[in-house]
């Protein structure tokens, strides 16, 4: 196919409540959308860094600028045989995986549209339900968190992820583990610790955690390898894995036993599949993570999560978890409602919450025109 035009949108999506992690607080989710046109068809894709360069060195305003000034001009007018060609066409530009991932995803979506096939099928997945987990950021109080975890357990979630940071770590885990002795729990540190915290990190072994996600800084592959030798709990890397090469290095060094794969962070769906294949070959577990995407990006993540090799419930959320209104339609929902019948007596525990891709070309998601208009803070169009 030939890429005729790319429209770009930098969008600020209001969140229901601020999202608090080790790196701070986000009051709104910022995202970048691309509408790609080629061979008479159009398709939407999304890449969602945060508003500030806190999770990664990239941020929404920067992704929009590099996409507009460098990447879109390098792609418009080019013939693309398969989505992987985008990586070749952009290979001379350094870094910027979220921005590259936007165009990689756009080409997958346009390919799916032209072939009239669902994205999950093109990626090698199947239309199967994907089990999802519950996530909790830093809360106002431990009591508040315990109530939220109880709600997740009652709703059938088989794994719960807790964001921890200094001052909200061992004390929180002690309380949660005491209340929920058998629940599958993992913690996400968002790189908030260093090897100077070795004593604290070793004590995390006491809580029978499924994994410790990104305990150290994203650059610290060697330190993660040292830490993994000291603790029993598997380390899961998130921020550290920004490309297939970084995944290879992490595997070789023994920096982790699990990888959280987010297509944006690694440069798109193509590198995500490469990392999945390398991890499977090395015997590592993988699961699909997410940023604060609209239903466009979240449905792409859902399609990816149907691929064989993802062995742990995904970070996929119904739109209503973060947004009063999702930027895109159809909003993401669980396969079956999770709340118990009002006034009804508890019977069998509910099935674990899951999501299933739609059987439509691409993913079926597109922005709601009015919300896109209202929430766009910058737009650009690059055409031939």
Contacts to Mg ion by CB under 5 A: 188, 213, 238
Read off the tokens for 57: 């060195």
- ∠ CA 129-135-141, nearest 5°, is 155
Whose Cβ is closer to Mg ion: residue 10's or residue 257's? 257
- Look up 100 and say whether it is catalytic: no
- Look up 161 and say whether it is catalytic: no
Whose Cβ is closer to Mg ion: residue 34's or residue 284's? 284
Contacts of 341 (CB under 8 A, 6+ apart): none
Is the alpha carbon torsion for 15, 20, 25, 30 positive or negative? negative
Is the alpha carbon torsion for 14, 15, 20, 22 positive or negative? negative
Euclidean distance between CA atoms 198 and 243, whole angstroms: 27
Pairing assessment for the beta strands 235-237 and 212-213 based on DSSP bridges: parallel
Residue indicated by tokens 């949660």: 176
Catalytic residue among 94, 100, 161, 163: 163
Give the phi and the psi of residue 121 in degrees, each rounded to 5.
-70, -45
Whose Cβ is closer to Mg ion: residue 188's or residue 293's? 188
Whose Cβ is closer to Mg ion: residue 26's or residue 213's? 213
Helix axes 269-282, 295-305, angle to 10 degrees: 30
Read off the tokens for 163: 């964001």
Whose Cβ is closer to Mg ion: residue 131's or residue 239's? 239
Please report which helix (H) or strand (E) contains residue 87, including its range.
helix 84-89
Residues classed as catalytic: 163, 262
């Amino acid at each position: 196919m030939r890429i005729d035009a790319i429209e770009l949108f930098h969008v600020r999506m209001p969140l229901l409540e601020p999202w608090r992690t080790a790196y701070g607080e986000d009051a709104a989710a910022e995202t970048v959308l691309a509408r790609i046109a080629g061979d008479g068809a159009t398709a939407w894709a999304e890449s969602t860094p945060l508003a500030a360069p806190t999770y990664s060195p990239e941020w929404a305003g920067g992704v929009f600028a590099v996409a507009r000034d460098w990447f879109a001009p390098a792609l418009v007018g080019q013939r693309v045989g398969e989505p992987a060609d985008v990586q070749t066409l952009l290979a001379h530009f350094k870094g910027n995986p979220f921005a590259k991932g936007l165009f990689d995803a756009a080409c997958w979506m346009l390919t799916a549209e032209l072939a009239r096939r669902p994205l999950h099928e093109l990626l090698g997945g199947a239309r199967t339900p994907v089990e999802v987990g519950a996530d909790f950021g830093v809360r106002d109080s431990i009591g508040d968190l315990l109530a939220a975890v109880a709600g997740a357990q009652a709703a059938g979630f088989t794994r719960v992820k807790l964001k921890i940071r200094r001052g909200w770590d061992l004390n929180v885990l002690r309380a949660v583990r005491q209340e929920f002795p058998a629940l599958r729990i993992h913690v996400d540190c968002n790189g908030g610790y260093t090897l100077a915290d070795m004593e604290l990190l070793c004590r995390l072994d006491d809580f029978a955690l499924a994994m410790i996600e990104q305990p150290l800084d994203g650059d610290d592959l060697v330190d993660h390898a040292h830490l993994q030798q000291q603790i029993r709990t598997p380390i899961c890397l998130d921020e550290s894995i920004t490309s297939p090469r970084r995944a290879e290095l992490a595997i070789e060094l023994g920096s982790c036993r699990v990888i959280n794969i987010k297509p944006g962070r690694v440069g798109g769906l193509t590198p995500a599949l490469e990392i999945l294949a390398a991890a499977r070959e090395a015997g590592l577990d993988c699961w699909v993570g997410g940023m604060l995407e609209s239903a466009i990006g979240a449905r792409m993540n859902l399609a990816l999560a149907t691929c064989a090799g993802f062995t742990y419930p995904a970070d996929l959320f119904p739109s209503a978890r973060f947004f009063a209104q999702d930027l895109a339609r159809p909003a993401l929902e669980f396969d079956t409602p999770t709340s118990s019948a009002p006034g009804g007596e508890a019977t069998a525990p509910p099935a674990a919450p899951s999501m299933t891709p739609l059987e439509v070309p691409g993913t079926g998601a597109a922005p709601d025109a009015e919300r896109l208009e209202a929430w766009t803070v910058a737009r650009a169009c690059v055409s031939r």
